[in-house]
Structure 1
């Protein structure tokens, strides 16, 4: 009888922990990044960035935020501004946090800093400041790494992975680099086409599932 009682208590505890993890998010079995809280059906996702968020290179309806919204069944607000640097985005972000009241922010900035050969340290500081703003507003954040475009290679800028590790932020690190390395998935040297944005939306969908947000 005592062994049966111990088994019952153990089963109850295990069941409670499973339910708790399910409610709070958790992460897929192969996911090694920080977990995200599960998004409610009425959650708002803010996609904040430059032309890569706006959808330059494709119809507005084919931008990654629109394609992601279809996949996750939540509202995804497109707050992309072509040509914006991380410094400009840092100034613009508070207004959008107040306006959209997001539960989750997808942050994709830095490409124009690189194109204009601006300081990588300043870019990193701006991204870190925006992550802090988002968290102070009560939202979570996913960082989308923008690649360095060089004549001989397209690789994720190391600042994004470094920020993800130091600030415990999920990072979509290689997807944009892989998309922009494939001529069939891009409209020009620095922008995906509709198929490329679809690939980006699918990669984000997978990350959100793995991190426990869906």
Structure 2
């Protein structure tokens, strides 16, 4: 399947500068907007901000509630072929950790997603999570380290902890104390934006340079 990506993308190469650019978000319930209207989630708010500040960009939210890294790894090639994103946001792992799944499996699955995205020519933002201490110090530290290590290995953007700005604010969560409430979504977007914006700018510059090269 990976071998199909460059060939499939080639017909799109020439008009890329004139077409809409895409951010693909591969996440779980934290990005899917669990427990709220679709337009209230941080990914939908990202789409609104892009429309205001970076015209020509769109967001495709391929997040699924309950998704694991294994699920994301199984879907990534299809999503890449379907949407041809310029930037991929990978925000998975929370469900792996809460279920105590082996760290090596999560690392392998995330690596597959990053590798496929980069192979398709997309820039990647890896969004990390942290686990509660009841899972044990070795597991929680190892879980957090997965994201740092993969970002360094693949040279991706990194946001270490999606929920950092609200983690200690009980009022920012729904009754289950796991999913952020609608009123917290703007804070999440404000946290993601500084890590994401440079990737958007870099992708736009690359497209401009490619367009100039074609004209020459």
TM-score of the aligned structures, taking structure 2 as reference length: 0.73
- Residue 126 of structure 2 corresponds to 143
Given the alignment of the two structures, is residue 168 of structure 1 paired with residue 155 of structure 2, yes or no? yes
Deviations 1:129-157 (A, max 9, x none): 11000011111110111121235999882
Pair 1:60–1:191, CA change in 2 (3 A):
same
Name whichever of 98-107 and 53-62 sits farther off: 53-62
Report which structure shows greater RCO (CA 8 Å, sep ≥6): 1
Structure 1 gaps, min length 5:
1-38
Name whichever of 174-183 and 130-139 sits farther off: 174-183
What secondary structure, in the 3-state scheme, does the structure 2 residue paired with 1:105 have? strand
Please point out which of 52, 55, 60 is paired with 2:38.
60
Once residues 108 and 26 of structure 2 are traced to their aligned partners in structure 1, the CA distance between those partners, rounded to angstroms, is 17
Moved over 6 A (4+): 152-156
Structure 2 gaps, min length 5:
1-16, 52-56, 202-216
Task: Count residues in correspondence.
Answer: 175
- Residue 6 of structure 1 corresponds to none
Q: CA RMSD in A?
A: 2.4
Once residues 40 and 159 of structure 1 are traced to their aligned partners in structure 2, the CA distance between those partners, rounded to angstroms, is 37
Once residues 64 and 180 of structure 1 are traced to their aligned partners in structure 2, the CA distance between those partners, rounded to angstroms, is 16
What secondary structure, in the 3-state scheme, does the structure 2 residue paired with 1:77 have? strand
Q: Which has the larger radius of gyration?
A: 1
Deviations 1:55-104 (A, max 9, x none): 11322111111011111222111111111111111001111111111111
The alpha-carbon deviation at position 40 of structure 1 amounts to 8.3
